[in-house]
Amino acid sequence: MSLYFLDSSALVKRYVTETGSAWIKALTDPEKRNPLIIARITYDLDMQYQVAELDRTLTEAAGELVTRHPLRAYDAVKLASALRVQSELVRAKSPALTFLSADGRLVAIAQAEGLLTDNPNRHL
């Protein structure tokens, strides 16, 4: 079992067939029981996802990310959410989180911030 944080560019591949869709569908298969985490701002009605809630502290963390990296606001919120979840996992001595995004720039920034990453576009 692995833990995955999906940004919207990765999550959409579960519902729209494009490069990386088969890989995302395999990771998100309910039978695999992989914990799947999305940010509150990522709209999806499927109850399979755990939601990283948006609050003032997270908003401030997103603002700090924007001052360090060329990020769009929504990307900053998603990245701040993933970083918060990763921090909680480290404190709980849980397995590491993998941040999934089809946005190469966002993946590079997530790596710079210390997250494990993967890009569904690299998988057929």
Question: What digits encode the pLDDT tens for the residues 75-98?
Answer: 999 999 999 999 999 999 999 999
Higher pLDDT, 60 or 46: 60
* Per-residue model confidence as pLDDT tens digits over 33-52: 999 999 998 877 667 899 99
Across the chain, what does the average pLDDT equal?
A: 94
Query: Distance between CA 13 and CA 96 in Å, rounded?
Result: 23
**DSSP letter at 47?**
T
Element (H, E) at 17: none
Instruction: Supply the pLDDT for residue 46.
Output: 66
State how many domains the chain has: 1
Predicted confidence band at 13 (pLDDT cuts at 50, 70, 90)? Answer: very high
Residue-range definition of the domain harbouring residue 11: 3-122
Tell me the pTM. Answer: 0.94
Radius of gyration of the chain (CA): 14
Q: CATH code at 76? A: 3.40.50.1010
